[in-house]
Structures are given as C-alpha cells and as structure tokens.
Amino acid sequence: MDYGLEMKYLIVGLGNIGPEYADTRHNIGFMILNEFAKQESAKFYNERLAYYTEINYKARTLYLIKPTTYMNLSGKAVSHWMSALKIPAENVLVLVDDIALPFGALRLKPKGSAAGHNGLKHIEATLGHNEYARLRFGVGADFPKGRQVDYVLNGFDKEELPELPALIDRAIEMIKSFVTIGTELTMTRYNK
C-alpha cells in the first residue's frame, strides 16, 4: 500500500472569479479557502485552471484550489488537479454553497447528488461519478420563486455577515477533521 497517496488531499472551493462575485453566497467555497490560506500564511498562485496553494497539516499535504473556470465548468479544474497530483476521489473535498440548508448549517457528505448545483453537476459529469465528499455550506433560500440565481450571486445579508467569520472557521475545522479522522467521524462530530 502506498501511504504517500493517503496523505494527499485536494480541497476544492467552488466559486466564480472576478470582483463582481467576490463575496457572494455562491463564492463561499472561495471565501473558506481564502481564510484557510490566510491562517496558514499560504499564498494562492494562478496555475492551470485554478488558483492553487499547498498547506501542510499534521503530516498531510492539502492542495487547495479555487477553479478559475467559472462555476459551471468546475469539473475541468477538479479533474485536471486530481490527475496532476494523483489524488484519489476519496481524498477530494468540495466546498459548496447550498440553498437547501438554512444559513449557518454546515454538512459534510461522503457523496451525493448535485441537487441542482451547477458546479457539482459539472464535476459529476466530468468525473463520471459523484463519489467525492462535499462540505455543504447553508446559505438559506430566502428568495422568491425563480430568483435563485440573483440570490446566490448576491452578498450575504447584514444580519448574516457578523456570523460568517465563525462559520468559516468552523468549515476550516471540518476540513482539518476530514483529512485527519475521515468523513464518517467528522460527520458524527460536526453535522448537526
């Protein structure tokens, strides 16, 4: 068994590049990775199909990527980096906004459907399966019917903003837990 592979993880924050998307709900994946990198004094570099950086944590290497392909082509970046870094699907974690969860809810899932999320849909289509973990960050669904796109492409409400830093920190704790104790134990510990 090659233990080297087990110690490598690809952490994918979904979002859209460009200042107009910077702090929108749809970009929570980028926001989590930005904070994680900042806490570890890591700097993102614009590499092939993604902003890329590496973090070492408890003898593990975490490769953080923020795809530069735009959300609905996220699979291209995920597929490229999995292959380039030789990371198996079970060591991939995708951070994604989820309107099916109330704001502030964080859920780790070992796999699952794309539930209408364009980023997840493209990853699933590109990889040919949905057997990768995802950390779903609840952004709520406080929008009129048919206005979902406007909602996720808008910033968080002023009531939500003060809570964001603690939620982002919790998401980072969950990433660290995922890479050290695995999906099941992390779910038991964190999924409420």
Q: State how far the Cα of 122 lies from the Cα of 149, in Å rounded to an integer.
A: 17
Domain that holds residue 180: 3-190
What angle do helix axes 164-181 and 28-39 make, rounded to 10 degrees?
Answer: 70
What angle do helix axes 164-181 and 183-190 make, rounded to 10 degrees?
Answer: 150
Q: State how far the Cα of 123 lies from the Cα of 176, in Å rounded to an integer.
A: 23
pTM confidence score: 0.96
At 86, give phi and psi (nearest 5°): 55, 55
Looking up residue 106, the CATH number of its domain turns out to be 3.40.50.1470
Count up the domains in the chain and report the number: 1
Amino acid of residue 97: D
Place of tokens 């990853």: 123
Q: State how far the Cα of 88 lies from the Cα of 8, in Å rounded to an integer.
A: 9
**Predicted local confidence at residue 129, as pLDDT:** 96
DSSP 24: B
**Predicted local confidence at residue 32, as pLDDT:** 98
Whose CA is closest to 116, among 132, 139, 100, 137? 100
Whether 80 sits among the annotated catalytic residues: the reply is no
Per-residue model confidence as pLDDT tens for the chain (192 residues)? 455 556 999 999 999 999 999 999 999 999 999 999 999 999 999 999 999 999 999 999 999 999 999 999 999 999 999 999 999 999 999 999 999 999 999 999 999 999 889 999 999 999 999 999 999 999 999 898 889 889 999 999 999 999 999 999 999 999 999 999 999 999 999 987
Give the bridge partners for 55, in sequence order: 62
Place of tokens 């660290």: 176
Per-position DSSP letters for 51-96, written without gaps between them: EEEEEEETTEEEEEEEESS-GGGHHHHHHHHHHHHT--GGGEEEEE
